[in-house]
């Protein structure tokens, strides 16, 4: 790690502040996805707390890769881990995909984590939101607060980049993991969510992952797929002549039209939709 990338003293103070805050809980249950943020929170809690429980809820909105990652990272970190299963599409408020969909979904998921943690004797609850998350529309935060979940990374003033730097220092393989988001975030608000659409999106993104495009989103607009890539990857995509073959494979899974978003990958881009 170069001196330029290494956290400065102020950042180190943030980490020590996080450890002190977590240590005051003694026993802590974490809503655990296995991504960069929750894995970092789990590692810090493991250092600071006497007992840590990681609870993962697997639903139709997770990719198989994300579900497997949560299981593996809990094992790597040495965390006691509980895996729960649910079917969020059975809730009409979620399936209808309104602007507040994330609130309804997170309310359901956090309630499951809280109940299971309570059964195991854990009263302190946390999730891995970071300071940068506050810049976007995140109705799930309201559900977290209502369920009594703390956001220690936000309280410590930690940004996503700082979390990645600390994770690298701690030797966590998730330090450079592409940002995760649920598959439902690829579908515009007001467009009902179906299992078929989620499978189509996951398959389309898997096709792009196999070509080495890891930080990618495929937004589903009916039978049109809109590919979002980081600006630095767009030249490689076009220069590689991948377009026709990707369009062919996308047609096979139900996308009759395929487009490349000229603005590139933007977190929460569908929040700009008029329906949002």
Asked if 111 and 13 count as a contact pair (C-beta separation under 8 A), the reply is no
DSSP-derived secondary structure for 40-104 = HHHHHHHHH-SEEEEEEEE-TTS-HHHHHHHHHHHHHHT-EEEEEE--GGGSHHHHT--TTHHHH
Whether 162 and 198 share a structural domain: no
Segment-wise mean pLDDT, segments of 10 residues, the chain, 276 residues: 47 88 96 97 98 97 92 97 97 97 97 98 97 90 97 97 97 93 95 98 97 94 96 88 93 97 82 59
Residue 29: count of CB within 10 angstroms of its CB:
27
Residue 2 within any structural domain of the chain:
no
- Both 106 and 226 in one domain: the answer is no
Same domain, 93 and 19: yes
State residue 10's pLDDT score. 59
Statement to judge: residues 148 and 191 lie in one domain: no
Q: Where residue 214 sits, what CATH number does that domain have?
A: 3.30.300
| Helix axis angle, 64-77 to 36-48, nearest 10° | 20
Q: How far apart (Å, rounded) are the C-alpha atoms in residues 121 and 115?
A: 10
Which pLDDT value is given to residue 1?
Answer: 42
Last residue of a domain, one of 176, 201, 233: 176
pLDDT for 181 equals 87
Residue 4, in any domain of the structure: no
Domain count for the chain, please give it.
2
Does residue 1 belong to any structural domain of this protein? Answer: no
* Same domain, yes or no: 211 and 256: yes
Q: Is residue 123 part of a domain?
A: yes
Domain C-terminal end among 114, 143, 176? 176
- Answer yes or no: do 167 and 192 share one domain: no
User: How far is residue 85 from each of residues 88, 116, 170, measured CA to CA in Å?
Assistant: 10, 12, 30
Assess if residue 89 is contained within a domain. yes
Res 270: pLDDT: 72
pTM for this prediction: 0.90
Same domain, 119 and 229: no
Please, how many CA atoms are within 13 Å of residue 248, restricted to the half-sphere of its CB? 5
Residue 192 lies in a domain: yes
- Do 30 and 111 lie in one domain? The reply is yes
Pair 106, 22 in one domain: yes
Question: What range defines the domain where residue 85 resides?
Answer: 9-176
Domain with residue 153: its CATH number is 3.40.50.620
Same domain, residue pair 73 and 26? yes
Query: Do 156 and 188 share a domain, yes or no?
Result: no
Which of 116, 148, 176 terminates a domain? The answer is: 176
Q: Is residue 3 part of a domain?
A: no
Distance of CA 237 to the CA centre of its chain: 24
One domain for residues 54 and 162: yes
């Amino acid at each position: 790690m170069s001196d330029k990338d290494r956290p400065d003293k102020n950042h180190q103070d943030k980490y020590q502040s996080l450890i002190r805050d977590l240590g005051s809980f003694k026993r802590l249950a974490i809503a655990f996805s296995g991504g960069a943020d929750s894995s970092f929170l789990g590692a810090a809690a493991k250092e600071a707390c006497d007992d840590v429980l990681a609870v993962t809820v697997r639903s139709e909105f997770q990719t198989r890769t994300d579900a497997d990652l949560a299981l593996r990272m809990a094992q790597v970190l040495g965390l006691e881990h509980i895996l729960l299963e649910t079917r969020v599409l059975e809730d009409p408020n979620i399936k209808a995909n309104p602007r507040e969909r994330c609130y309804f979904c997170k309310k359901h998921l956090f309630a499951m984590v809280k109940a299971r943690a309570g059964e195991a004797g854990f009263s302190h609850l946390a999730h891995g939101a970071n300071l940068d998350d506050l810049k976007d529309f995140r109705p799930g935060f309201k559900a977290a607060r209502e369920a009594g979940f703390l956001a220690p990374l936000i309280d410590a003033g930690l940004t996503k980049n700082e979390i990645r730097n600390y994770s690298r220092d701690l030797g966590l393989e998730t330090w450079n993991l592409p940002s995760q988001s649920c598959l439902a975030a690829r579908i515009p608000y007001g467009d009902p969510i179906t299992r078929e659409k989620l499978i189509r999106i996951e398959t389309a993104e898997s096709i792009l992952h196999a070509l080495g495009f890891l930080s990618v989103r495929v937004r589903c607009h009916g039978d049109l797929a809109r590919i979002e890539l980081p600006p630095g990857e767009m030249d490689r995509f076009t220069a590689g002549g991948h377009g026709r073959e990707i369009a062919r494979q996308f047609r096979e899974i139900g996308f009759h039209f395929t487009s490349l978003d000229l603005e590139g990958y933007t977190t929460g881009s569908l929040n700009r939709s008029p329906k949002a």
